[in-house]
Amino acid sequence: MENETTDFIRQRIESDLAENALDQGVITRFPPEPNGFLHIGHAKSICLNFGVAQEYGGETYLRFDDTNPVKESNEYVESIQRDVAWLGFQWKTITHASDYFEQIYSYAEALMRDGKAYVCSLDAEQIRATRGTLTQPGENSPYRDRTVDENLDLFRRMRAGEFSDGTHVARLKIDMASPNLNMRDPVIYRIRHASHQRTGDDWCVYPMYDFTHGICDAIEHISHSLCTLEFADHRPLYDWVLENINMNYHPPQIEFSRLGLEYTVMSKRLLHRLVDEHLVTGWDDPRMPTIAGLRRRGVPASAIREFCQRIGVTKQDNVIEMNLLDFCIRQELESSVPRGMAVLNPLKVVITNYEGSETLEGPWHAQNQDLGRRQLPFGAEIFIEHDDFANEPPPKWKRLSPGEMVRLRYAYIIRCDEVIEDDSGNVVQLNCTYFADSKSGQDTSGLKPKGVVHWVDASAGVPITVLDYGRLFNVPNPSSKTFLDDINPNSLTRLDAMAEPALLAHESRRFQFERQGYFYRDEQADGGAPVFNKTVSLREGF
Ligand code: ATP
Ligand code: MG
């Protein structure tokens, strides 16, 4: 294997394998709740769960943790499948916590028969109030000593729909004085008269995550149940449930750090608010840290996998710099995508001594000849980048300025003779001369301009819209309470640009625009000019 240092999870798996401790091999699961789109934090968990199974010849379940019908929907189920597949992973089968509702329910009844669970008729507020604190024990519920018969009768009537939401819950009978609050008679079932996207109206009681998760893991014979660090405090409960039900397999829960990324938020709850309050255009807005957003921005799946490998798996929560993701994206795209010319902020150049037109040529990638060549129409009027001209050039200026020369990429050397300004002094046109004997590849002019700039022929060029995305937030670590105040109001810049025609005819949707960055053609263009999303600039920006 290529990684010389393996992480603690892979070490654990290797030692389990060495000891023949896994009777069915490595089996993992990725268990999203279908209550939103997946984000790059989920990608870390996906790469880990699917990655280790792949590496050790095992399999991975894609399991929808669909225990909360109110927040879940099919749209999310479908987006999750699309995103996992797009990331390049194949699941063994798709399962749902709801596939096991009957079995989970029967374990709850069994625990009641064993005197280890009871129906509690306190309301949510009372349960909270009697739970105690980190320094004070909780109080026993007055319903804790209901008889087995009474509990079973009430629980069955809960299931039968006799009671309204919130009137009763089922709780485990563990220890109201436990130093771990999760062990203070946790609720395992609540009444919710809500239609479920898979089970319809079959159920009006739904199991809680902590009760459900371990049971599903055991049913699927998961060899390593990998979850994020915040579940470490829930592990005793996970273990308690599996030890106290009649199940002869008990998977180990192993926690790893959550991924945080600078200048964004990563919880579905907060991402929901950005979508619902129309602060972004949707879950797949290219500014979102969602897989769908990254995909639409043009980030290749391989860059996300590479990123997840580089950040590694540790026991320490960390916030990663956006620059690392950008680095991985550039690295993936550098030699593989065609490089064309587009002028983002066009300045007209008239070549006063050029007549007619011709077709020049250049490679799609100077170092990767496999990408082939394209034709470049050239004529007396072209556009160059506004930024490539300076009326009063700073020291060491290598681009165009009055009286100076520059080479047009794959074309001729030009010299700026005249600068035309509008009434307010803005430069609106340059009049230049070209040198006929300076054509790229057959240059006999002996001229040595300092710089090379990109350009687009004015008559053959195609207008495009470029969407340049900045950071969604102004601060590196937006807090969940104030994140709406920290939104960057200038996170989207719309540019009316010009592209060389071959770019639009090319089958690739992904390009480097020379000297600018990587761009991805958006499929959802609205009938106007073709839209290109900026994936990442060529160099570390900001
Ligand atoms: P969120 O708070 O964003 O809703 P979640 O943990 O509630 O996240 P789930 O759908 O329950 O979302 O997550 C599915 C899996 O992805 C879980 O195993 C969870 O631990 C993992 N996961 C979620 N967010 C991250 C993250 N930022 N880094 C690593 N793993 C994550
Ligand atoms: Mg969750």
pLDDT tens track for 134-187:
999 999 999 999 999 999 999 999 999 999 999 999 999 999 999 999 999 999
Say yes or no: CB of residue 445 within 6 Å of ligand 1. no
Taking a C-beta distance cutoff of 8 angstroms, is the pair 312, 94 a contact?
Answer: no
Could you report the per-residue pLDDT of 69-93, keeping only the tens digit for each?
998 889 999 999 999 999 999 999 9
- Residues of the chain with pLDDT > 90, as a percent, come to 95
Same domain, 171 and 193: yes
Q: Ligand 1, residues 38, 42, 72: which to mutate, most atoms within 8 A of Cβ?
A: 42
Say yes or no: CB of residue 29 within 6 Å of ligand 1. no
Count how many domains the chain has: 3
Q: Whose CA is nearest to atom 10 of ligand 1?
A: 32
From the number of C-beta atoms within 10 Å of its C-beta (0-12, 13-18, 19+), residue 5 rates as exposed
In a domain, 195, yes or no: yes
CA of 209 to the centre of ligand 2 (A): 9
Say yes or no: CB of residue 35 within 6 Å of ligand 1. no
Same domain, 276 and 309: yes
Say yes or no: CB of residue 54 within 6 Å of ligand 1. no
- pLDDT exceeds cutoff 80 at 231: yes
Going by their DSSP bridges, the two strands 427-434 and 346-351 should be labelled as: parallel
One-letter amino acid identity for 119?
V
- pLDDT exceeds cutoff 60 at 212: yes
- Residues of the chain with pLDDT > 70, as a percent, come to 99
Name the pTM for this structure.
0.95
Same domain, 475 and 440: no
Taking a C-beta distance cutoff of 8 angstroms, is the pair 209, 66 a contact?
Answer: no
Which two tokens mark 433?
């001369």
Specify the pLDDT at position 523. 86
Q: What CATH number corresponds to the domain at position 288?
A: 1.10.1160.10
Which two tokens mark 157?
């009537």
Same domain, 219 and 184: yes
**Ligand 1 atom index nearest CA of 266:** 3
Same domain, 252 and 267: no
Same domain, 299 and 209: no
Specify the pLDDT at position 2. 45
Q: Is the dihedral of CA 286, 288, 293, 294 positive or negative?
A: positive
Which ligand neighbours the alpha carbon of 32 most closely? 1
Which ligand neighbours the alpha carbon of 28 most closely? 1
Tell me what the mean pLDDT of segment 229-252 comes to: 97
Specify the pLDDT at position 541. 63
Closest CA to 3 of 449, 376, 313: 313
Same domain, 43 and 191: yes
Same domain, 127 and 97: yes
Where residue 4 falls among pLDDT bands split at 50, 70, 90? Answer: low
Q: Ligand 1, residues 28, 38, 45, 307: which to mutate, most atoms within 8 A of Cβ?
A: 45
CA of 310 to the centre of ligand 2 (A): 25
Say yes or no: CB of residue 33 within 6 Å of ligand 1. yes
Say yes or no: CB of residue 267 within 6 Å of ligand 1. yes
Low-confidence winner among 313-317, 382-386, 428-432 (lowest mean pLDDT)? 313-317
Closest CA to 29 of 6, 52, 2, 55: 52
Specify the pLDDT at position 527. 77
Last residue of a domain, one of 205, 222, 256: 256
**Ligand 1 atom index nearest CA of 260:** 27
In a domain, 504, yes or no: no
Cα 52 off chain centre by: 20
Query: Could you give the residue numbers annotated as active site?
Result: 33, 258, 268
Specify the pLDDT at position 1. 42
Q: Ligand 1, residues 228, 231, 257, 273: which to mutate, most atoms within 8 A of Cβ?
A: 228
In a domain, 145, yes or no: yes
Same domain, 395 and 368: yes
The whole domain housing 363 covers: 346-458
Say yes or no: CB of residue 45 within 6 Å of ligand 1. yes
Say yes or no: CB of residue 31 within 6 Å of ligand 1. yes
CA of 440 to the centre of ligand 1 (A): 54
Tell me the average pLDDT of the chain: 96
Which ligand neighbours the alpha carbon of 37 most closely? 1
Could you report the per-residue pLDDT of 480-530, keeping only the tens digit for each?
999 999 999 999 999 999 999 999 999 999 999 999 999 999 987 677 899
Say yes or no: CB of residue 228 within 6 Å of ligand 1. yes
In a domain, 542, yes or no: no
Where residue 5 falls among pLDDT bands split at 50, 70, 90? Answer: low
Same domain, 251 and 265: no
Which ligand neighbours the alpha carbon of 29 most closely? 1
Same domain, 311 and 366: no
Same domain, 369 and 489: no
Helix (H, G, I), strand (E, B) or coil at 18: helix
